[in-house]
A and B are shown apart, each in its own frame.
Chain A
Amino acid sequence: MTDSAEPPAAPALVIEAGRADAHYWRDLWSYRELLGFLAWRDIKVRYKQAVLGVAWAVIQPAVQTLLLTFVFGKLAKMPAGSVAYPLLVLAGLLPWQLFSSAFSGAGNSLVGNAHLISKVYFPRLIVPLSALAVALIDLGILLALTLPFSFCLGVWPTWRLLLLPLFIALALLIAFGAGLWITALTVKYRDFRFISPFILQIGIFVTPVGYRTDFLPNWRDWLALNPLSAAVEGFRWSLLGGTTKFYVPGLAISLAATALLVGTGLWYFRKTERQFADIV
């Protein structure tokens, strides 16, 4: 029995209008199992009644890799440097995939869980976070397939691979910040259900997923304003080994932009969260 030893005078919980909930972060921690369950449910349910099942997690990025390789590598004849073009694209696609699936998942998460929001209390942050967890698991699957693929193409891992978790964390933070915004905005304005696919369509070109930035010196700083650029570069740097160079000022810009995104995202989410049950 873990829960029976309740002290005689249990701490009182006070509910008041506009009260910034002092226990919010503690609550979030105590509801961590729910986070796991929601993510587990989404993954479990997603491939039910799909004949190919989990294969879809691979087919989609594989097709996208081929497409981007064709468009940028063959049609636009962008330089690939020392690695095979598909590998370049794939390394960029990994963080992009993480971002886009977390972003679109988060956007739909609160509206999709409206029945929960209006019937049960839990820190609402759990819902976009679980979308993030789902995206992370997808990334895991993809990564497990990318590594052998890159061995086949002659790229062997170096010590840089050890730093990959940092770039995954960066991509997660970006997705988290953007996810918070899109979640809160979608609850309030359903227009964002239509806007978010747009953002993703544009994003895949604004982010250097299909091309290298070091051949575009004029654009580099502009592209760095998009915090995902640094994540993409970081993935390439740690996955593709020696020849790829890393652009440090870009990382600094990206970190600042990420901090801004997460900070404002949290602020806006917490501000609108109180009304979620009334407007969802």
Chain B
Amino acid sequence: MSSDIVIAVENLSKRYVIGHEARHDNLRDALHHTARKLWRRFRWGTGFRTEEFWALRDVAFEVRRGEVVGIIGRNGAGKSTLLKILSRITEPTTGRVTLRGRVASLLEVGTGFHPELTGRENIFLNGAILGMRRDEIRRKFDEIVAFAEVDRFIDMPVKHYSSGMHVRLAFAVAAHLEPEILIIDEVLAVGDLQFQRKCLGKMQQVASGEGRTVLFVSHNTAAVQNLCSRGLVLESGRQRFLGGTADALALYVNSGGPTGGPAVDKQVAPPGSPVRCTSLTVNGSASDRLALTTSAESLEIAAGVQVTADVRLSIETYLCDRYGNKLALCSPGHDESGGDVHRLSPGHYRLTARIQLPRLFRGHYLLDITLVQPYVCKYVSFPCAIELTVDSSGLNWGRMFEDSGVAVGFMVLPGRVTAERLAALDKP
């Protein structure tokens, strides 16, 4: 193994035994189970069947010094299990991990914070829990307090902190760790926008400036894109892809996303929603993949809906980049006039949204469509469910921007939503 490789993972698997028979949190169950097991052995010569669940299966990768690797995947893909094994919290079932260097892991912000202790005391406690030495903490103390912006409250019990202050203090301690390998679970989802930006900046500095190795789990695709040099995609415990960040993200966003099937199947509605979508077409196509040509300057989204209660309904459409970052919104119903929100009594309707598109660069985009009563309720949503492919827009120089992650800036698109009653469908 080259000394440049700081993390080497070889066919790592983790199995959990789940189910009714396998766990005994209390003594009675354990005794009972043992007795029954013996009885079964005696009677039938077999023990219990146990249900196995592989949280990770044959994962293998290597990380070099100074690399920032983003680990992405849906909930339950095994990301957290992987991080837990790497941080020695839990043991793998098979396989081996070799780590070179001091590891610090941050699976949660503010682990071990005690509400009764003051900010100052918690900095020392939390630092010790994360593996810092007392003199190290003392040396960085002022820096931590300044970063967290809590100087005035530092001698106040943490239970009186606002949740924002709490999180800032916790992240500040963690950000001042100086390990060679830093393992971070989704921790940026907290704090206000400004602080999130500060944290991202700090992490970028840690990774690029100080040559540390970072493993980073996040659902924030923009953060992964900006920070990571490589991406590892996990899917139900298996390693699906390891490579460039852009490719990894595209794969992640598209898995469970557009597949070429009918768009209407992608609807998500809260239980008991009085609105159901029966059909969905975009520019006449019912598929969730759609190619746009140069001439297309508008989108026509037509949703057939069945309404079972009196509702007020409009269509809200986000145009997103291929990682799901929102670029533009069209929601005529949000206008002051409220003219594009339609009062619908129970029955069948067709709602049509006509949206003017800006000129788009070549590439892939996603549509996020929601049937809403603006400001009040989301009835049905299609989260990033429809993929638009723009072949050629006449803006060929746009190719330069395709993978560079240039933010387009957020726009509001003009458009209209109309509704018509489909009386024919209402008659039984």
Over the window 93-115 of chain B, the binary record of Cβ atoms lying under 8 Å from chain A Cβ atoms (1 yes, 0 no) is: 11111111111010110011010
Determine whether the beta carbon of B3 is less than 8 Å from that of A9. yes
Determine whether the beta carbon of A278 is less than 8 Å from that of B90. yes
Determine whether the beta carbon of A189 is less than 8 Å from that of B30. yes
Kindly state the separation between the CA atoms of A44 and B108 in the bound complex, as whole angstroms. Answer: 24
Determine whether the beta carbon of B114 is less than 8 Å from that of A45. yes
Cβ of A16: which chain B residues have Cβ within 8 Å of it?
A: 92, 95-97
Determine whether the beta carbon of B90 is less than 8 Å from that of A37. no
Kindly state the separation between the CA atoms of A120 and B130 in the bound complex, as whole angstroms. Answer: 7
Determine whether the beta carbon of B180 is less than 8 Å from that of A17. no
Kindly state the separation between the CA atoms of A160 and B180 in the bound complex, as whole angstroms. Answer: 53
The reply on B117 being an interface residue by CB < 8 A is yes
The smallest beta-carbon distance between A36 and chain B, in angstroms, is 8
Please name the residue on chain A nearest to B5 by beta carbon.
Answer: A12
Kindly state the separation between the CA atoms of A31 and B129 in the bound complex, as whole angstroms. Answer: 9
Determine whether the beta carbon of B111 is less than 8 Å from that of A121. no
Interface window among B131-139, B302-310, B338-346? B131-139
Which of A34, A120, A191, A275 sits near B111, CB closer than 8 Å?
Answer: A120
The reply on B84 being an interface residue by CB < 8 A is yes
The reply on B26 being an interface residue by CB < 8 A is yes
- Supposing A8-B3, A45-B117, A278-B16 touch, asked if A116 and B129 sit within 8 A by C-beta, the answer is yes
- Which residues B128-152 have CB closer than 8 A to chain A? 128-131, 133-136
Determine whether the beta carbon of B133 is less than 8 Å from that of A3. yes
Number of interface residues of A (CB under 8 A): 42
Kindly state the separation between the CA atoms of A50 and B282 in the bound complex, as whole angstroms. Answer: 66
Kindly state the separation between the CA atoms of A16 and B178 in the bound complex, as whole angstroms. Answer: 25
Cβ of A115: which chain B residues have Cβ within 8 Å of it?
A: 108, 111-112
Which of A14, A117, A120 sits near B105, CB closer than 8 Å?
Answer: A120
- Which residues B15-54 have CB closer than 8 A to chain A? 16, 23-28, 30
Which of B30, B112, B116, B135 sits near A120, CB closer than 8 Å?
Answer: B112
- Supposing A10-B101, A190-B26 touch, asked if A18 and B91 sit within 8 A by C-beta, the answer is yes
Please name the residue on chain A nearest to B12 by beta carbon.
Answer: A15
The reply on A72 being an interface residue by CB < 8 A is no
The reply on A70 being an interface residue by CB < 8 A is no
Over the window 79-112 of chain A, the binary record of Cβ atoms lying under 8 Å from chain B Cβ atoms (1 yes, 0 no) is: 0000000000000000000000000000000000
Please name the residue on chain A nearest to B107 by beta carbon.
Answer: A119
Determine whether the beta carbon of A119 is less than 8 Å from that of B100. no
- Supposing A44-B117, A278-B16, A278-B90 touch, asked if A120 and B129 sit within 8 A by C-beta, the answer is yes
- Supposing A13-B103, A121-B87, A121-B105 touch, asked if A41 and B117 sit within 8 A by C-beta, the answer is yes
Cβ of A279: which chain B residues have Cβ within 8 Å of it?
A: 23, 25
Cross-chain pairs A/B with CB under 8 angstroms, 22 sampled: A2-B135, A6-B102, A8-B3, A10-B100, A11-B100, A15-B86, A15-B92, A17-B91, A18-B91, A33-B134, A36-B128, A45-B114, A115-B112, A119-B111, A120-B129, A122-B129, A189-B25, A189-B26, A190-B26, A191-B28, A274-B90, A275-B91
Task: Give 9 closest A-B pairs by Cβ, nearest first.
Answer: A121-B88, A15-B97, A191-B27, A37-B128, A189-B27, A119-B111, A277-B90, A13-B99, A277-B89
Give the interface of B toward A (CB within 8 A).
1, 3, 16, 23-28, 30, 84-103, 105, 107-108, 111-112, 114, 116-117, 121, 124-125, 128-131, 133-136, 178, 180
- Given A3-B102, A12-B99, A189-B30, 12 further pairs, Cβ under 8 A: A3-B136, A11-B100, A13-B103, A37-B128, A115-B108, A119-B89, A120-B105, A120-B112, A189-B27, A190-B25, A190-B26, A275-B91
